[in-house]
Amino acid sequence: MIALLLVLAACGTGTPSPDPAGQALAPWPDDPTALLARCATEPFPELATTCRVQAAARLATLGKVDQADATCARVPEGTWRQECHFRVGEELSQAGDVAQAAAQCGQAGWFAQRCITHAAWRMRRSGEVNPRSPDPALEGDRELLLAAVQAGLAAHADPGVAGEGRDVFQAAWGRTLYRGSGHADPRAAHTTAERGPALRTGWAVEAARIEMSAPRTTTRTDPVNLVATLRSAWRQGTVLSGAPDPSPPPERYAPLQIGPQDQGVPHLPLYGGGLRLVGETVDEDADIAILEAVYGWPELGAAPFEAWLADPRPRVRWTAARLLPLAARESHGGDPDGGRARLDRALSAARDPVLRRLLAAQAPRPGPPP
């Protein structure tokens, strides 16, 4: 409609006129310097704003922090400027500048939490430490990261944002340390320190990836065996090795709906926005991390979780009860009905009211009658 009115206006005057609609529809250049020049000539203010947001994100991709920040400052205050800082924050984290990424997220207003999630899970592996590094080096690397994150988020109007950012970045640190490395050494994760749950999640995710990627694996035909293999590696301190993958596929996570049983129980953020329960002991926490990691492979179906519904540890039972019905929705795992039979058996056998509530809450609805 705008384009039509501009054309009619030009025709009505009888004089030639630039074609602002055509200019607005022309593709934007990839080079951020050229893009900024284009932003300055955009005929419509709304397009000039989105153009600058895009230019700031591209500058951040190249690690040009000051230029990206200055470009956001030229965006009108409010939602679009907050969006600009959000885009810059996630790109800076992927470019390797987590401290500046957190500072941008601190300016992202109501986009801050989303910015934290994107920036944390895009974070690159530290070149300073790895799971075989001594404990003081690992702890120093973690503390340095969290100090930078808290400093960057301190200016946000909501004081809770800094705490949330700390939790998410710590979880992402543990995942990034292992993820795609091809080397799942559990020894660093055998710690009672605060970093332990994050390291155990990172170890379990990479250990599952290595086992599922190995040509010799039997887990695709015997999914329960994967859990047994990972538990054995954990308890014996066995290092699982395989081909590294610099760009492993994103993990699948199960959303956690907080219930009465979760009150006062610690949780750990998972990739993309999920949460998992943290076990009361190191070994219990490792078992929970293993179950969550196994859920990341849909082809395994619901079979790996059924036996865990009878585990004497409540947090392990609750984890299995949350994951089994979600996995039962998949058409894999050796169950012709996609795992519905396993879920029905579990619901029939469950005497724990918390278990029944968790199983029923995520249960797939029956399909229409034939």
| 217 and 325 share one domain | yes
Q: Are residues 85 and 187 in the same domain?
A: no
Note whether 200 and 315 are same-domain residues: yes
CA distance 119 to 89: 6
Residue 190 is assigned to a structural domain of this protein: yes
Whether residue 168 is contained in a domain is answered as: no
Q: Are residues 262 and 331 in the same domain?
A: yes
> Are 139 and 189 members of one domain?
no
Domain encompassing residue 50: 24-143
How many domains does the structure of the chain reveal? Answer: 2
CA distance 33 to 68: 11
Together in a domain, 332 and 189: yes
Query: Do 194 and 118 share a structural domain?
Result: no
Q: Tens digit of pLDDT per residue, the chain (370 long)?
A: 333 333 333 333 333 345 555 555 567 788 999 999 999 998 889 999 999 999 999 999 999 999 999 999 999 999 999 999 999 999 999 999 999 999 999 999 999 999 999 999 999 887 889 999 999 999 999 999 999 999 999 989 898 999 999 999 999 999 999 999 999 999 999 999 999 999 999 999 999 999 998 776 555 557 788 999 999 999 999 999 999 988 777 778 777 677 778 888 999 999 978 899 999 999 999 999 999 999 988 888 888 998 899 999 999 999 999 898 888 876 444 454 557 777 778 777 777 888 888 888 765 544 433 3
Domain membership of residue 109 (yes or no) is yes
Please indicate, yes or no, whether residues 126 and 203 belong to a single structural domain of this protein: no
CA–CA separation, 321 and 70 (whole Å): 50
Helical packing angle, 135-153 and 98-106, nearest 10°: 30
Residues 56 and 107 in one domain: yes
Based on the fold, state whether residues 352 and 243 are members of the same structural domain. yes
The token pair that represents 17 in the structure block: 């006129």
**SS3 call for 257:** coil
